[in-house]
Structure 1
């Protein structure tokens, strides 16, 4: 029987682990999976295991020399002087045991999701273990070793001859994916992110529009620090609707970093759980309107792994299944995890109305974001 949606998951995703105190912690994947199971909205026949991506598949984007360096690093046989050339062994991306195998599984998870959708096994597929959008052809960056989204896009182009729209709502610019397809007219990238003025990686300006035949297929909307729900959602909806109408893709791939939330310790935006309900809702609607429902979603950033990420990523699956969740979170889930959490877990799906003090520059920030949005979409309307 065909499922409308499939959930790619393995407890082995937790093997992608830099250290106990590193901000990137994939326990958030386990927390999300457990929350959905506790809600009784995720059945065993909807879960599919990820496969390990082959070296050839990883080499669709990454240099073979880099793949070898990752393998050697994970075995402890890569000299530190060589590792630094590949962005390995840095503060952001420390070396850990078997890092190639752990990274290849995340890539394989996204490819598993792609194959499920492109072969008609499901309309939608979710791999919250993926979304590592900072990885480059020959270099690790920003907690990302292999760039599963870039590999998946190139895989879809070659295997399924697909035109792909990639939409990234992580607070950090989706630089690795943008540059991988910067001169490619069959891939359109849209990134809505906090301005790089104070935030890694510092790219994603509105003038980054593509190159050569790919000119006009790269869209960036860098929003101001302290942007709130209303402005965030306006920027997201307007840009997504205009870009998909312009590009008319065969499939949508969304990267769902949850680090735009007010609680996130690494960013400076003021988005609440309302936006993380809205983000997949619009993606779902537009997938059915333009792509016969074909939608693959991956995870991404999100560094308040206890209070924010499980609620935000659960929303993607709930939307795929046309389910609604309001009111209290399951008590058993809170009981199970509270003793491990350094913070008090939220009791409800939505945030309190007084999540933060009113922001005095709200109108100024909103107007600035509107102007940025207009300028970023100028190439479509003219």
Structure 2
């Protein structure tokens, strides 16, 4: 195994563009790539442009009729079939939609292949993490589910245990659905409570199909307003113990930046510094439980200047083995470019001023009056006994 990290990047992924005014602004990808370059991280990784996912790869997760519907909408957006979730407010059809969606999926599949084959120890595709797409429908700004496709490819290559950890503010419903009946895949999602946020799924009681797959889905439904200390407490109260029991051969993680307190589409209050802390933890967990094999993906995130580029640049630095210190000043050239592109003033440092972030370990005690502790315990009671663990 080379040990060298790969950054999956093709400039054409910025063509994943639902149009003016849509929250999923592709400038967030271009700004992230620019910040990675401004810090010289692209000299610390191998930058790779993988090929577009072909039909046979897409069908590892998606139904053939759905792929054909995406192609048809891509060729003629006005004819998009809303029965497949296409041409809706969340997922407007656009020319070339199939091609660019398949290209993003190809980057995540390529990342998985590189890590499994030992070409890289870690691989990052921050354009990926489109975790809402279902086998037969687009959903939540997601056309093809690159995260599920990467996992399916790992299984096709011979992996017997793959763990997926999703820390996007929204439930990783599409990935959970893809592997609901498959005990080879453990899906763990930490997200805002379904009572207050799309897609209204991800309850603790969702634990996988009855039978061999029961206990293969784990969901932590966090109260709206959860901040750094609570978010980290929940992560560390659930994820490490499950990964230690499951012993994954590869760890796939999704790092949606929309948990941030500035994100306009959700209601958590997490800082950039806590996001960085979870990225560091995922890297460490990959080495502890998966021989270092780590595929890291992007996801949501709609504060496209203040948050997303900084969060995912930290992720690339961690994967590359060259962590960026939180207090690091952001290069003026990048800030000027961000303003020229968006007319928004960019932050000056790679921190929200909350580093180091502290939290109370689960072992320190349970507060029955605390809504966060109630949420954590609900998850542990629902899922842990199914994996032979104490709640």
TM over 0.5: yes
Supply the RMSD in Å over aligned alpha carbons.
Answer: 1.7
In the TM superposition, residue 377 of structure 1 has moved relative to its aligned partner by 4.5
1:336 aligns with 2:330: no
Q: Structure 1 residue aligned with 2:381, among 365, 375, 379?
A: 375
Matches within 5 A, 1:356-371: 364-371=370-377
Decide which moves more: 315-324 or 206-215.
315-324
1:273-329 CA distance string (max 9 Å, x none): 111111111111111111111000111000111110001101111111232323221
CA contact (8 A) 1:231 1:369 kept: no
1:203 aligns with 2:201: yes
In the TM superposition, residue 365 of structure 1 has moved relative to its aligned partner by 4.1
1:269 aligns with 2:275: no
1:318-362 CA distance string (max 9 Å, x none): 111232323221111101211322432111111146xxxxxxxxx
CA distance in 2, matches of 1:305, 1:364: 33
CA distance in 1, matches of 2:85, 2:37: 37
Q: Show the counterpart of 1:228.
A: 227
CA distance in 2, matches of 1:146, 1:377: 28
Give secondary structure in 2 for the equivalent of 1:349. Answer: coil
Change in 2 beyond 3 A, CA 1:376/1:332: farther
1:13 aligns with 2:22: no
CA distance in 2, matches of 1:32, 1:376: 38
CA contact (8 A) 1:276 1:315 kept: no
In the TM superposition, residue 74 of structure 1 has moved relative to its aligned partner by 0.7
Unaligned runs of 5+ in 1: 354-362
In the TM superposition, residue 3 of structure 1 has moved relative to its aligned partner by 4.7
CA contact (8 A) 1:72 1:78 kept: no
Change in 2 beyond 3 A, CA 1:221/1:45: closer
CA contact (8 A) 2:77 2:93 kept: no
CA distance in 2, matches of 1:290, 1:367: 26
CA distance in 2, matches of 1:150, 1:66: 16
CA contact (8 A) 1:76 1:97 kept: yes
CA contact (8 A) 2:252 2:294 kept: yes
Q: Show the counterpart of 1:36.
A: 36
Q: Show the counterpart of 2:24.
A: 24
In the TM superposition, residue 173 of structure 1 has moved relative to its aligned partner by 0.1
CA distance in 1, matches of 2:375, 2:261: 18
CA contact (8 A) 2:72 2:79 kept: no
TM-score (norm 1): 0.93
